[in-house]
Chains A and B, each alone.
Chain A
Amino acid sequence: GAGVSQTPSNKVTEKGKYVELRCDPISGHTALYWYRQSLGQGPEFLIYFQGTGAADDSGLPNDRFFAVRPEGSVSTLKIQRTERGDSAVYLCASSFPGGRTDTQYFGPGTRLTVL
């Protein structure tokens, strides 16, 4: 596809359940970012991948959150024992390699609702 895609677009789950959110970056983009956006707030950084490795995971709120990118393309954000406070839109972005001002291209987001 031409842009960043994310699946599912909406996810409703119950408190305590496990969820996986998927991001397909633009082909050739080695940098991939996960953000979380709560209602009325700007996006909040979670984790950044360069290739297969997590170059910066300082934004993950706690150890219930984990993300992988095993082949350096698709990434999965995993949330264990979900809590109501995890409800938010989870955004993925990717960018071309190199350059400190590389533009990020955002996906449509996954809206997670924890009941």
Chain B
Amino acid sequence: KNEVEQSPQNLTAQEGEFITINCSYSVGISALHWLQQHPGGGIVSLFMLSSGKKKHGRLIATINIQEKHSSLHITASHPRDSAVYICAVRFADTGNQFYFGTGTSLTVIP
């Protein structure tokens, strides 16, 4: 069964803290997508990766294909990072559609 699980579901951090959000999936994938969704706002793509690690500013995404796991890290967190972070995967056997996790709601307190 194709499943995507994220943890934690909710996360509150103090400004400046290092944050990790996790995503696990059930079977082999061809791509994994990290997305950011602000309250009442649209979805913004952060990273698309299929292996290794990507970095953009204070954001880092890693993926471990063998363990079927990806992490999104935020360094020196800021209140403007407060949003829902969503992991979406394209499974190797399901064509082009993406399966989404339920998201991690992050609140960064000043």
Q: Is A104 an interface residue (CB 8 A)?
A: yes
- Does A107 lie at the interface of the complex (its beta carbon under 8 Å from any beta carbon of B)? yes
A contact residues around B35 at 8 Å (CB): 106
In the assembled complex, the CB of A102 is this many whole angstroms from the nearest CB of chain B, namely 7
Bound CA span A10–B75, Å? 36
CA distance A42 to B87 in the complex (A): 9
B10 shortest CB reach to chain A, Å: 11
- Considering only residues 17-71 of chain A, those with a C-beta below 8 Å from chain B are 31, 33, 35, 40-45, 48, 50, 55-56, 58-59
**Interface size (B, Cβ < 8 Å)?**
25
Q: How far is the CA of A42 from the CA of B43 in the complex (A)?
A: 11
> Complex formed: what's the CA distance from A31 to B95 in Å?
13
Contact across chains for A105 and B95 when beta carbons are under 8 A apart: no
Do B102 and A48 have beta carbons less than 8 Å apart? no
Q: How far is it, in angstroms, between the C-alpha of A108 and the C-alpha of B49 when the chains are bound? A: 23
Asked whether A48 lies within 8 Å of B43 as measured between CB atoms, the reply is: no
Q: Which residue of chain B has the shortest Cβ distance to A40 in the bound complex?
A: B102
Which one of A56, A91, A101, A109 has the greatest number of beta carbons of chain B within 10 Å?
A101
Contact B31 A100 (CB under 8 A): yes
By CB atoms of chain A within 10 A, which of B42, B48, B90 has the most? B42
Per-residue interface assignment for chain A, residues 70 to 110, with 1 indicating a CB less than 8 Å from any chain B CB and 0 otherwise? 00000000000000000000010100000011111111110
Residue ranges of B at the interface with A (Cβ–Cβ < 8 Å): 4, 30-31, 33, 35, 41-45, 48-50, 86, 88, 90, 95-103
